[in-house]
């Protein structure tokens, strides 16, 4: 991965052309940012895009590949608990999918992760990974088994199990020979490196066991490899020579390693610190106190430098995380604000729509009510006209000699009501009506009940309601004035009786009546057209200027002059 930026550009092109899926591109980007650019923040972002995508099967190769890379990434950033959690989950998914290759890989990662959490516990996972690979026909998986054997050897040496470590090294040497015979295609120098590192650990294990001759033969086999001349090879064999107490070899190795790091300008690293610490122990064991103190001081200074660099790296990571959190918080705040605005807009739209629907329903209801009122108005007018015609026919065809006293008295009361508008007197009652008719109130009560089925009070109120309906249809006076002019003392009582009689309010009745009048070409006068009602009474209700206004209006209105004569 010598040119990671170019690789990223090629990935972008492949995604744009559609030659690679978005998941594959995001996995590759995460891998490049982790291994090539060591940008762990962006590496995690791209890997999470694959792992968190909805609809992606968790048993697919791309998901398992991304999960394996994410586990390796977690090991790199020392998140061992997270690496173990995801590796265990990956092992389960791979086992369910019957994918032994990924199952072995996740077992190996789990072994490395758990070893950091619980030292000595990773061997079981590593053995399982090696066993899974051995039963596969894919030869390209064999190098992973060799790597897991190396990890197992390291763990056994750390635990002091030298015999098991030596057995594992011999097993690994035989396994490397099998890979060579099978023709496994690896990079140049791969097998040389594998042999060298295995011989170095075998020599150390045997030397710790006291098998000096066999350890020496293993060290000689190590020296035959090209890797023995490399700085990493010198690191690997150093511990063996320290253990053999070979002063010449140990001092030469210390000198070569130190010169290498000084020449590279990289003396602040854990490997060099380990070398200085081993050098200090070597001199202390040989009672070379001055050299031991010098190496100890250098190791202590180097450790402080490493700690400081570690703290700086952690501070940089925290700063990156803090800035990322700030951006996420700002983004979340913006999203929340946008969501609130969207909710407000939607609420307003819903309210407007609901208001429009409600208004439409009200208009429709009012239209329906108005249509119903018109029908009621027509029905009422027809009934009133029919009753009036029937009364006229009965009056014309019936002789007074054939009527009973009660019928004569009832007819006389009706005529007085129609001609003199007695009901406009709000104090009119049965006693007063009886006095006007020159009879006893009991007689008039019986006569009205026998002929109409109503009491005297109901009879008077019925006459008032009919008169009020006439005024509503022919004038534009307020309803309250009409109620007073009709003889009612209570507006609420008037409204109640009117609704019972006509099944609508006075205002609704007037609206229908005026609509009918306009349709017929008749416009109601703008003054009272009252017969046999004194102008003085109107002035009492409307104010002192009413009579003058009426007279002024009547000079220009023929119908007004006609009604004015009735007033006078």
pLDDT at 209: 92
CA distance 12 to 14: 5
Paired tokens of 116: 């950091």
Instruction: Measure Cα distances from 492 to 376, 425, 454, 486, 498 in Å.
Output: 22, 18, 21, 14, 10
CA 23 to chain centre: 25
- Encode pLDDT of 211-243 as tens digits: 999 999 999 999 999 999 998 899 899 889 888
- Total residues belonging to the chain: 568
Considering the domain architecture, whether residues 511 and 545 belong to the same structural domain is answered as no
53-72 mean pLDDT: 92
CA distance 426 to 409: 22
315-326 mean pLDDT: 78
Asked if the model's pLDDT at residue 531 lies above 60, the reply is no
- Encode pLDDT of 101-145 as tens digits: 899 999 999 998 888 888 878 899 999 999 998 888 888 888 989
Work out the pLDDT band at 396, boundaries 50, 70, 90: low
Residue 241 in any domain: the answer is no
Task: Tell me the pTM.
Answer: 0.54
List CB contacts of 172: < 8 A, sequence separation 6 or more.
146, 149, 150, 153, 194, 198
pLDDT at 527: 41
Paired tokens of 427: 């104090």
Considering the domain architecture, whether residues 480 and 541 belong to the same structural domain is answered as no
Asked if the model's pLDDT at residue 541 lies above 90, the reply is no
Considering the domain architecture, whether residues 542 and 517 belong to the same structural domain is answered as no
Residue 506 in any domain: the answer is yes
Domain containing 408: what range?
399-524
Asked which of 492, 508, 524 is the last residue of a domain, the reply is 524
Asked if the model's pLDDT at residue 533 lies above 50, the reply is no
Considering the domain architecture, whether residues 530 and 513 belong to the same structural domain is answered as no
- Encode pLDDT of 492-527 as tens digits: 999 999 888 888 889 888 888 888 777 776 655 444
Using the CB atoms, write b or e for 332-349: b if 16+ within 10 Å: eeeeeeeeeeeeeeeeee
CA distance 226 to 47: 38
Considering the domain architecture, whether residues 446 and 544 belong to the same structural domain is answered as no
CA distance 467 to 456: 17
Considering the domain architecture, whether residues 432 and 546 belong to the same structural domain is answered as no
> What CATH number does the domain containing 416 carry?
1.10.10.60
Residue 284 in any domain: the answer is no
CA 553 to chain centre: 72
Considering the domain architecture, whether residues 476 and 548 belong to the same structural domain is answered as no
pLDDT at 167: 94
Residue 452 in any domain: the answer is yes
- Encode pLDDT of 329-358 as tens digits: 888 888 888 899 999 999 999 999 999 998
Considering the domain architecture, whether residues 405 and 438 belong to the same structural domain is answered as yes
Residue 374 in any domain: the answer is no
Residue 41 in any domain: the answer is no
Residue 209 in any domain: the answer is no
Considering the domain architecture, whether residues 439 and 489 belong to the same structural domain is answered as yes
Q: Considering its fold, how many domains does the chain have in total? A: 2
467-472 mean pLDDT: 88
Asked which of 524, 540, 556 is the last residue of a domain, the reply is 524
Residue 55 DSSP label: T
* Contact status, residue 278 vs residue 242, Cβ threshold 8 Å: yes
Considering the domain architecture, whether residues 555 and 477 belong to the same structural domain is answered as no
pLDDT at 320: 74
Considering the domain architecture, whether residues 542 and 440 belong to the same structural domain is answered as no
Residue 25 in any domain: the answer is no
Helix residue ranges, H only, 503-568: 506-519, 535-542, 546-554, 558-567
Considering the domain architecture, whether residues 423 and 500 belong to the same structural domain is answered as yes
């Amino acid at each position: 991965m010598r040119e990671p930026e170019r690789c990223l550009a090629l990935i972008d092109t492949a995604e744009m052309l559609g030659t690679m899926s978005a998941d594959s591109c995001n996995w590759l980007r995460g891998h490049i940012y982790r291994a090539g650019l060591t940008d762990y923040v962006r590496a995690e972002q791209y890997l999470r895009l694959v792992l968190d995508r909805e609809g992606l099967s968790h048993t697919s190769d791309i998901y398992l590949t991304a999960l394996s890379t994410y586990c390796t990434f977690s090991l790199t950033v020392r998140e061992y608990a997270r690496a173990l959690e995801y590796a265990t989950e990956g092992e389960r998914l791979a086992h369910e999918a019957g994918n032994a290759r990924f199952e072995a890989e996740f077992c190996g990662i789990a072994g490395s992760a758990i070893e950091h959490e619980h030292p000595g516990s990773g061997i079981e996972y590593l053995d399982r990974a090696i066993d899974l690979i051995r039963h596969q026909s894919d030869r390209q998986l064999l190098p992973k088994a060799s790597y897991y054997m190396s990890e197992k050897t390291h763990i056994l040496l750390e635990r002091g199990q030298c015999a098991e470590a030596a057995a594992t090294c011999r097993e690994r040497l035989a396994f490397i020979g099998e890979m060579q015979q099978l023709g496994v295609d690896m990079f140049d120098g791969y097998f040389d490196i594998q042999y060298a590192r295995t011989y170095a650990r075998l020599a150390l294990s045997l030397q710790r066991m006291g098998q000096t001759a066999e350890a020496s033969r293993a060290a000689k086999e190590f020296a035959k490899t090209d890797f023995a001349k490399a700085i990493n090879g010198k690191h690997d064999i150093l511990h063996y020579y320290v253990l053999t107490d070979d002063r010449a070899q140990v001092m030469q190795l210390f000198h070569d390693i130190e010169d290498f790091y000084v020449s590279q300008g990289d003396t602040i690293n854990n490997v060099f610190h380990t070398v200085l610490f081993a050098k200090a122990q070597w001199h202390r064991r040989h009672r070379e106190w001055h050299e031991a103190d010098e190496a100890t001081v250098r190791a202590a200074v180097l450790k402080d430098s490493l700690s400081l660099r570690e703290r700086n790296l952690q501070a940089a990571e925290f700063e990156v995380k803090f800035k990322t959190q700030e951006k996420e918080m700002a983004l979340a705040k913006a999203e929340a604000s946008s969501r609130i605005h969207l909710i407000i807009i939607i609420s307003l739209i819903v309210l407007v729509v609901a208001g429009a629907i409600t208004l439409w329903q009200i208009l429709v209801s009012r239209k329906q009510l108005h249509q119903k009122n018109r029908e009621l108005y027509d029905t009422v007018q027809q009934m009133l006209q029919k009753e009036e015609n029937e009364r006229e026919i009965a009056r014309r065809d019936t002789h007074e000699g054939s009527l009973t006293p009660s019928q004569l008295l009832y007819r006389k009361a009706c005529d007085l009501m129609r001609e003199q508008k007695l009901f406009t007197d709000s104090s009119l009652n049965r006693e007063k009506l009886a006095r006007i008719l020159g009879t006893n109130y009991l007689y008039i009560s019986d006569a009205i009940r026998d002929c109409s089925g109503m009491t005297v009070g109901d009879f008077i109120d019925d006459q008032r309601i009919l008169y009020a309906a006439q005024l509503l249809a022919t004038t534009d006076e307020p309803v309250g004035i009409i109620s007073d002019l009709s003889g009612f003392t209570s507006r609420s009582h008037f409204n109640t009786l009117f609704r019972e009689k006509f099944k609508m309010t006075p205002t609704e009745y007037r609206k229908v009546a005026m609509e009918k009048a306009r349709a017929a070409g008749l416009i109601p006068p703008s003054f009272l057209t009252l017969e046999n009602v004194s102008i003085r009474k109107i002035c009492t209700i409307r104010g002192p200027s009413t009579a003058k206004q009426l007279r002024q209006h009547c000079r220009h209105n023929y119908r007004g002059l006609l009604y004015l004569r009735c007033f006078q």
